[in-house]
Amino acid sequence: MSSGVTPRLVTFATGLSTPWGLAFLPGGDLLVTQKAGALVIVSANGQSVSAPLAGVPTVDASGQGGLLDVALDPAFATNRLVYLAYSELVGGANGTAVARGTLNAGRTGLDNVQVIFRQAPKKTGTSGHYGSRLVFRGDGTLFVTLGERQSYSTEAQSLGSQLGKVVRIHPDGSIPVDNPFAAQGGLAAAVWTYGHRNPQAAALHPATGELWVAEHG
């Protein structure tokens, strides 16, 4: 049955290369990630795109990896903290990481950038299924979705691995003591849900506050 709605395609902004995530700044401008590693500010009317912001961590921009999601701290108006999810290469192995930094007054870069979370274990021989969505819960904790890194084994079902999980952390990267598996310690402590393939979409239900995710593929 037809809804009677005719879709319209409107170009909002040009000059972007593989945009992956966005976050609205106060006033309507947008922080936009580009997969190759650049974070830019797009004006609220879409007419201008800034130069790449300084301070962004080095990303592993291969396959499905790169600079992925971006989110603002719930208290951004006072602390100006910006969170980035990206694929990180360390010693030949890669995985999802989350960093945060302070957007400077001139909006030209992020200061005091620090990595607050690194998915474990990292993997070699694959450049896909990073997950990487960032969603702040109503209590101020941060959900991070993590793909199973194309590891078609039992790692997504194992609490001894962070592959194929959604984790919940505090904004500084510490682990809430009321997480479902916090008492087990180790890699399990950060886990909120497990058994995922590649959760690349995530949002809070507006009425219940529940986290909803969509699996790619």
Catalytic residues: 129
Q: Cβ(193)–Cβ(182) under 8 Å?
A: no
List the structure tokens of 187: 């890699």
List the structure tokens of 51: 């130069």
Beta 191-194 vs 199-204: how paired, if at all?
Answer: unpaired
CA 160 to mean position of chain CA atoms: 22
Cis peptide before 171 (omega within 30 of 0): no
